[in-house]
Structure 1
Amino acid sequence: MIRDGEAEGTRLCESFGKQFPTAPAKIVRYNDRSLTFYRWRQSSARRWGNPSTTAISLTGQAGRALLARVPISARGHWLNYERRRIYLNMRLSTASYELYRLQDWLDGLDAIKAIERDGLSVDAPDNQNERG
């Protein structure tokens, strides 16, 4: 699921870039642990008047101001890309969260096996957090 989603995300970014090569923003992949994998990043190109690249929300205040600068004929396309980005992030974040939780539960089962095998030891590594 995650690999398929990442491939879909790559296609989404490439498709937007081909359709709007000189756009004031683009969709990019972030590799942090926020579970929001694909975001909009405003261009720092001089013609757009933004001194640095910044992440924006297309539906937020900065994103709406940016959309106002996009030709009316292109806005619907941008909103369709935003819709696809949101659905993709929902699927990827849900799958990633499930993987994190499953790993946490498997770690708990491994800890039980270690306790059963080795007994209780205060020197044993604490690989469990308190999330529950």
Structure 2
Amino acid sequence: MPPSFSRRALLQAGAAIGAWPLFAHAQGAWPGKPVHLVVPFPPGGTTDYVTRLVGTELGKSLGQPVIVDNKPGAGTVIGVDYVAKSAPDGGSFVTVANSFCANATLVKKLPYDTLRDLRPVALMG
């Protein structure tokens, strides 16, 4: 026996299919502005050097400027806090090293939550 459809069910299905594009979210191409790489160490160190190399190649690949900014101090807390409190638009990244992992146990009260405010993106070296 072939399935039977009521006129009401067909109208509801048509309305649902027609309304589907209303729930789509349009997004522009990423990144829409310069990418910001923060190095929580002084200029001239290994982390700074590697970040600048990666930033140069990333800029060529994305076709957007990549800004490398050094924010040293407090065992990476200042630079990491800067990125943790930046706009969550995917345009700010921080390059960290081993001291970042130790800060959660060594520093009594960090101004950011390591697990909630930050996400690992890539391993460089």
- Larger Rg computed on CA atoms: 2
Structure with more relative contact order (C-alpha pairs < 8 Å, separation 6 or more) = 2
Q: TM-score range by the shorter chain?
A: under 0.3
TM-score for both structures, normalised by structure 1:
0.26
